[in-house]
Amino acid sequence: MADISRADVEHLAKLAHISMSEAELEKMTGELGVIVDSVKTVQEAAGEDIPATSHPVALTNVFREDVIGHTYTAEESLANAPDAEDGRFKVPAILDEE
């Protein structure tokens, strides 16, 4: 079992501003020990000859060439706009500011 003492759990609870009963402190001491032991086991399984991975299956991005297509002029963009002013879309004000 990991070296997690009741005093360690009390200290962590105090740092986290968590009030715990006596029973909760005892239970958490055991549970944190199991968690630390589990992490140790996983760390032992991954040796230095095993590369770290972030995903179980290798990912490959599929990129395409950026091709510039048709670009609209300001006049074409505003042709069907309900309202425009000074070469821009005009929308209703949503704030009571000028």
Could you read off the pLDDT of 59-91 as tens digits, one per residue?
888 888 989 999 999 999 999 999 999 999 999
Per-domain boundaries in the chain:
1-47
- Distance in angstroms (rounded) separating the CA atoms of residues 39 and 33: 10
Query: 20, 56 in Cβ contact below 8 A?
Result: no
pLDDT of residue 98: 61
pLDDT of residue 47: 73
| Per-residue pLDDT tens over the stretch 39-62 | 888 877 777 777 777 777 878 888
Q: What is the model's pTM?
A: 0.45
Nearest one of 69, 61, 70, 4 to 32, comparing CA atoms:
4
89's enclosing H/E stretch is strand 88-89
| Per-residue pLDDT tens over the stretch 24-37 | 999 999 999 999 99
User: Which fold is adopted by the domain 1-47?
Assistant: Histone, subunit A (1.10.20)
